[in-house]
């Protein structure tokens, strides 16, 4: 009877550890997605809107996907969750900003971020920062909102 009790206790302990690990991974992934959404919202908001001088932008109806996380990651990839990339350095952002500026000059009638992404073969989340840098410098201008935003060379 004591062997059975020990086995049950061991299985219960393993189960509790697995549940705790899974919950911790889910919370970590959700917090990362939330932080990314906040940073993207802030990068797409003007300083006037942040301090309350203008009406805040409308909330998007898109919600983060609830995709399952992969298990059994290698030790080297434990630092970042699956699908996450390392932070880009300033040279990488500047290079992409230069490519975006050249692309805007080639399209005198304006170009949308979606089209930039396709031409430059970059992911959606790689564009907001270089675009914000160019807008801040005055190298490009924008007209429109959300997906209808067109970017022009200044």
Domain 87-154 has CATH 3.40.228.10: no
Question: pLDDT (tens digit, 9 = 90+) per residue, 43-79?
Answer: 777 766 666 655 555 665 555 555 555 554 444 444 5
Question: pLDDT (tens digit, 9 = 90+) per residue, 119-136?
Answer: 999 988 899 999 999 999
Residue 56: per-residue pLDDT: 54
Token readout for 29 is 């992934």
* Strand, coil or helix: 70: coil
What mean pLDDT comes out for the span 16-44? 84
Tell me how far apart the alpha carbons of residues 26 and 31 are, in angstroms, rounded to a whole number. Answer: 9
Buried b or exposed e, range 86-120, using 16+ CB within 10 angstroms: eeeeeeeeeebbeebbebbeebeebbebeebeeee
Question: pLDDT (tens digit, 9 = 90+) per residue, 90-102?
Answer: 899 999 999 999 9
Percent of the chain past pLDDT 90, that is, above it, reads: 39
Asked if residue 137 has pLDDT above 90, the reply is: yes
Tell me how far apart the alpha carbons of residues 96 and 148 are, in angstroms, rounded to a whole number. Answer: 21
What mean pLDDT comes out for the span 13-28? 88
Tell me how far apart the alpha carbons of residues 16 and 73 are, in angstroms, rounded to a whole number. Answer: 20
Number of helices (H) and strands (E) in the chain: give both, helices first.
5, 2
* Strand, coil or helix: 85: coil
Residue 76: per-residue pLDDT: 43
Give the other-Cβ count within 10 Å of 131's Cβ: 22
Q: What angle do CA 127, 132, 134 make, to 5 degrees?
A: 100
What Å distances lie between residue 116 and 47, 97, 111, 124, 126, CA to CA?
Answer: 25, 11, 7, 10, 11
Asked if residue 19 has pLDDT above 80, the reply is: yes
Residue 69: per-residue pLDDT: 55
């Amino acid at each position: 009877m004591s062997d059975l009790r020990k086995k049950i206790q061991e299985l219960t302990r393993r189960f509790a550890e697995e549940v705790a690990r899974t919950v911790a991974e889910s919370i970590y992934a959700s917090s990362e997605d939330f932080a990314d959404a906040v940073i993207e919202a802030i990068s797409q908001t003007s300083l006037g809107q942040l301090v309350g001088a203008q009406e805040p932008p409308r909330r998007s109806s898109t919600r983060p996907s609830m995709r399952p996380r992969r298990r059994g990651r290698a030790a080297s990839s434990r630092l970042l969750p699956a699908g996450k990339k390392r932070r880009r350095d300033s040279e990488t952002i500047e290079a992409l900003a230069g490519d975006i500026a050249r692309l805007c000059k080639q399209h005198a009638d304006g170009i949308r971020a979606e089209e930039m992404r396709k031409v430059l073969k970059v992911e959606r989340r790689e564009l907001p920062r270089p675009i914000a840098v160019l807008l801040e410098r005055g190298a490009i201008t924008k007209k429109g909102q959300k997906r209808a935003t067109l970017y022009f060379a200044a």
